[in-house]
Chain A
C-alpha cells in the first residue's frame, strides 16, 4: 500500500514536471539567428557564449544560433529561407547587401521596432559613419555589428633598414611611393625579394580597397541612393592610374593582381613591406610576425581616407511579429557596449559604438595593443563600401574594370569607362 502511494505520488510529480517543461517550451519565443564567420579562431563558441548569456537574462526567448559559412553562403541561405516563407529572424549579412535585401523585400527597418526613448538613444550611440551604410530612404535597415576598416600594415624593421623613421608611416601618396622605393630589395639577379607595397586587387577585395583610393583622391564611387556610379570621374580615373603606376612606373608593387588571401603571408614572410588589408588581420599578424610592425591610417592624395566593411544585423520581415520583437531585443544585446567591446577583443573587428571603446575591457586591450586604436581614429574619415541596387552585378562590373586595368589589358580610363557603361545599363531601371 505504502509503496503504491509512493509510486502514484512520483508519477504525478513526473507528469507535473513534464507538463511544466512542455508549457515552458511552448511559451518561449524562438529566434533563429544566422551568422557567418570571416575571421579565424573558435568564434562559434564565442557566439554561443553570447547566446547563453542572453538566454540567462531573457528566459522567455529561445535563440538558435546557426553558423552559416561565409557572407555569400549566409546570404544565399537567408534568401532561400526567406523566399520559401521560413526566414531566419535575425541574420548578420554584408552592409553592402542592403539594396539587394530591400529590393527582394525580405528585411524590415530597425526603426519599426525602436520606439522607446531608450531605443532611440541606443541607435544614436552608433558612430555616424557606420549608420550611414544602413540608412536608405530615411529608414535604418540594420544595426552595425561586425565591422572592419582597411588599414596600412608596415614592417618597422624594413623601414629602419632603409633608413626611414619606423615611427613615421607615410601619410601621403608621394610619401608612400618614396618609402616603397626605399625599402625595395633586389637579389643579385635583379629579382625583387622585397616589394614596397601590396594592395590586394583580386575580385572581392579590389572594389573595397579601390573605394579607399578614390576617397583619398576626394572622389566617391556611388551616390547614397545606390542608383548611380561615378567611375568616369577624372579623380576616380586618377586613383586607378596611381594604383596601376605603383607597379608599372614606380616598380614597388608586385606586377599584376595581388591576392587578398596571400597578402598576410607575404607581409609575414617580409616579401612586401607595406600591405593594405583589414583590421581583422591584427590578431593573426600580431601572433605570427617575427619582426616589429606598425599599423597606420591610410595615406591620402587630397586627404587621408579609408573604407568601412563588414556585416550588419538585419531583421527579416517574414518572421512572426513576436519573434521579430524578440530578435530586436537580441540585436540590442549583441550591439550593447559590453558585447561589442568583447567582440572587438575576440575578433579584431572595430566596435562601431563610442560607448564600447569606453568599456574597461576594451580600454585595457587598447593599452596593451595600441594598434587597435588606429582603426578607430580612422573611422571618422572612412566612407562606406561600394554598394548599389543589383549590387552583385554592379560590383562585378567594377571588379572586372579594375582587373582589366591592373593586368594591363586596358588603360585605366578605358577600363573605367567600360565599367561605367555596364553599370549604367544595370542601374537604368532604378533611375527616377
Chain B
C-alpha cells in the first residue's frame, strides 16, 4: 500500500531479522521435542541418527496422575474464563453505557488494581479462603481471579470504540439494555474476547505459585504443580523426562494455538493487544 519502494537490501535485512528471531524463539521448544523423543544419553548431543523413542512419555505419564491434573487444570481454566467473561463484560458495559456519579473514580480504583502483584496478597487471600473453608478446592483456587482489572479495562476500551449510532439504532428497534449488550457490543468485540481469552487461558494454565499454596491433594492440583515432581534438583535434572512431561502439559495449548493460529493472530491485530 505504501507508495515508497523499499530497497531489496532492507527487505532482506528485515526478513533475515524475522527469521533470526523466530529461530531463537523456537529453539527451546525444538530442544524439548528433540530431547523428549530420544533416549537420555542424547539429551546433550545432536546426532541425527539417534534412535527415536516414546519411552520418556510413558515414564512421565506413569510418574504422576496426569489425566487427573489435566482435568483439574481444564476445570480451573474454564471456571476462570467463564466468570471473567461474564463479570468483566458487565463491569465494562456499566462503565461505558451507564455512567454515574463517581464511576470514573471507581474505574480508577479498578485500574489501580493492575499495579498490585497478586503475590503480595498471598497470605491475605489464603486467610480469606481458609475462613470460607475453600482451601484445597478448585473454586478456591480460582476465586481471587474471577474478576480481572485488565479484562474490565480492555473490554471498556473496546466497547467505547463501538459507534453510538449502532447502540441508538438498536434501542430504536426496541432492544433492552441486555439485548443491546448481546446483539451489539459483544459481536463487535469478538476479536477482543478471543485475544483476551487466549491471554487468560495461557496465564492460568501456567500459573504455579498460588495453586501450589492453596492445594494439597491430587484431586485439586493443576498440571503445573504436578509437573514440579520432575524438577528433582538435588540429583541434577533428568532432561528427557522433564521435557517429555513439559510437552505433555503444553500440548493441548500448543495444538489449539496451531489449529486456530490465523484467528488468533487476526484478533490480536484487531484487539490491539501486543
Which residues does A use to contact B, with CB under 8 Å? Answer: 32, 37-40, 42, 44, 64, 66-70, 73, 76-77, 80-81, 83-86, 148, 204, 260-265, 268-269, 277-278, 280-281, 283-284, 288
Q: Are B229 and A260 in contact (CB under 8 A)?
A: no
Chain B residue nearest in CB terms to A267: B236
Q: Which residues of the partner chain B approach A66 to less than 8 Å between Cβ atoms?
A: 216-217
Which residues does B use to contact A, with CB under 8 Å? Answer: 40-41, 43-45, 63, 122-124, 126-127, 130, 135, 209, 212-213, 216-217, 225, 228-229, 231-239
Q: In whole Å, how far is B120's beta carbon from the nearest beta carbon of chain A? A: 12
Please pick, from B63, B213, B229, B239, the residue contacting A67 in the complex, using a CB distance under 8 A: B229
Complex-state Cα separation, A40 to B217, whole angstroms: 20
Q: Are B235 and A284 in contact (CB under 8 A)?
A: yes
Chain A residue nearest in CB terms to B216: A66
With A81-B126, A85-B130 in contact, do A40 and B212 touch (Cβ < 8 Å)?
Answer: no
Please pick, from B216, B231, B233, B234, the residue contacting A64 in the complex, using a CB distance under 8 A: B216
Complex-state Cα separation, A31 to B89, whole angstroms: 44
Q: In whole Å, how far is A214's beta carbon from the nearest beta carbon of chain B? A: 21
Given contacts A84-B130, A261-B236, 9 further A-B contacts (CB under 8 A): A64-B216, A69-B225, A76-B209, A80-B213, A84-B127, A86-B135, A265-B43, A265-B236, A281-B236
Q: Which residues of the partner chain B approach A80 to less than 8 Å between Cβ atoms?
A: 122-123, 126, 213
Complex-state Cα separation, A44 to B62, whole angstroms: 13
Chain A residue nearest in CB terms to B225: A69
Q: Are B216 and A40 in contact (CB under 8 A)?
A: no
With A80-B122, A84-B126, A86-B130 in contact, do A264 and B232 touch (Cβ < 8 Å)?
Answer: no
Q: Which residues of the partner chain A approach B239 to less than 8 Å between Cβ atoms?
A: 265
A-B contact pairs, 23 of them (CB 8 A): A37-B232, A38-B233, A38-B234, A39-B234, A40-B235, A44-B229, A69-B228, A73-B209, A73-B212, A73-B228, A81-B126, A84-B127, A84-B130, A86-B130, A86-B135, A261-B236, A264-B235, A264-B236, A265-B236, A269-B44, A269-B45, A283-B235, A288-B40
Complex-state Cα separation, A292 to B158, whole angstroms: 67
Q: Which residues of the partner chain B approach A64 to less than 8 Å between Cβ atoms?
A: 216
Q: In whole Å, how far is A44's beta carbon from the nearest beta carbon of chain B? A: 7
Q: Which residues of the partner chain A approach B238 to less than 8 Å between Cβ atoms?
A: 40, 284
Q: Which residues of the partner chain B approach A277 to less than 8 Å between Cβ atoms?
A: 236
Complex-state Cα separation, A80 to B231, whole angstroms: 22
Q: Which residues of the partner chain A approach B123 to less than 8 Å between Cβ atoms?
A: 80, 83-84
Q: In whole Å, how far is A268's beta carbon from the nearest beta carbon of chain B? A: 8
Complex-state Cα separation, A208 to B11, whole angstroms: 53
Q: Are A70 and B233 in contact (CB under 8 A)?
A: yes
Chain A residue nearest in CB terms to B119: A76
Chain B residue nearest in CB terms to A310: B234
With A85-B130, A86-B130, A86-B135 in contact, do A39 and B209 touch (Cβ < 8 Å)?
Answer: no
Q: Are B234 and A278 in contact (CB under 8 A)?
A: yes
With A37-B229, A39-B235, A278-B234 in contact, do A85 and B127 touch (Cβ < 8 Å)?
Answer: yes
Q: Which residues of the partner chain B approach A37 to less than 8 Å between Cβ atoms?
A: 229, 232
Q: Are A70 and B209 in contact (CB under 8 A)?
A: no
Q: Are A263 and B232 in contact (CB under 8 A)?
A: no
Q: Are B44 and A263 in contact (CB under 8 A)?
A: no
Q: Which residues of the partner chain B approach A44 to less than 8 Å between Cβ atoms?
A: 229
Complex-state Cα separation, A81 to B44, whole angstroms: 40
Complex-state Cα separation, A77 to B63, whole angstroms: 23
Q: In whole Å, how far is A312's beta carbon from the nearest beta carbon of chain B? A: 15
Q: Which residues of the partner chain B approach A204 to less than 8 Å between Cβ atoms?
A: 233
Q: Are B44 and A265 in contact (CB under 8 A)?
A: yes
Q: Which residues of the partner chain B approach A268 to less than 8 Å between Cβ atoms?
A: 41
Q: Which residues of the partner chain A approach B233 to less than 8 Å between Cβ atoms?
A: 38, 70, 204, 260-261
Q: Which residues of the partner chain B approach A261 to less than 8 Å between Cβ atoms?
A: 233, 236-237
Q: Which residues of the partner chain A approach B127 to less than 8 Å between Cβ atoms?
A: 84-85
Q: Are B235 and A76 in contact (CB under 8 A)?
A: no
Q: Which 6 pairs from chain A and chain B are nearest by CB?
A: A84-B127, A264-B236, A38-B234, A66-B216, A84-B126, A280-B234
Chain B residue nearest in CB terms to A68: B212
Complex-state Cα separation, A76 to B209, whole angstroms: 9
Chain A residue nearest in CB terms to B44: A265
Q: Are B213 and A76 in contact (CB under 8 A)?
A: yes
Please pick, from B43, B212, B236, the residue contacting A260 in the complex, using a CB distance under 8 A: B236
Complex-state Cα separation, A40 to B235, whole angstroms: 7
Complex-state Cα separation, A76 to B210, whole angstroms: 10
Complex-state Cα separation, A402 to B40, whole angstroms: 32
Q: In whole Å, how far is A38's beta carbon from the nearest beta carbon of chain B? A: 4
Q: Which residues of the partner chain B approach A81 to less than 8 Å between Cβ atoms?
A: 126, 213
Chain B residue nearest in CB terms to A44: B229
With A67-B229, A80-B123, A80-B126 in contact, do A280 and B235 touch (Cβ < 8 Å)?
Answer: yes
Complex-state Cα separation, A148 to B233, whole angstroms: 13
Chain A residue nearest in CB terms to B237: A261
Q: In whole Å, how far is A83's beta carbon from the nearest beta carbon of chain B? A: 5
Q: In whole Å, how far is A84's beta carbon from the nearest beta carbon of chain B? A: 4
Q: Which residues of the partner chain B approach A38 to less than 8 Å between Cβ atoms?
A: 232-235
Q: In whole Å, how far is A289's beta carbon from the nearest beta carbon of chain B? A: 11
- Most chain A CB inside 10 Å of its own CB: which residue of B43, B45, B232: B232
Q: In whole Å, how far is A216's beta carbon from the nearest beta carbon of chain B? A: 22
Q: In whole Å, how far is A349's beta carbon from the nearest beta carbon of chain B? A: 9
Q: Which residues of the partner chain B approach A260 to less than 8 Å between Cβ atoms?
A: 233, 236
Q: In whole Å, how far is A116's beta carbon from the nearest beta carbon of chain B? A: 32
Q: In whole Å, how far is A420's beta carbon from the nearest beta carbon of chain B? A: 28
Complex-state Cα separation, A138 to B24, whole angstroms: 56
Q: Are A39 and B63 in contact (CB under 8 A)?
A: no
Chain B residue nearest in CB terms to A34: B216
Chain B residue nearest in CB terms to A66: B216
Chain A residue nearest in CB terms to B64: A44
Complex-state Cα separation, A44 to B45, whole angstroms: 32
Complex-state Cα separation, A353 to B166, whole angstroms: 79
- Most chain A CB inside 10 Å of its own CB: which residue of B41, B130, B212, B233: B233
Complex-state Cα separation, A177 to B178, whole angstroms: 80
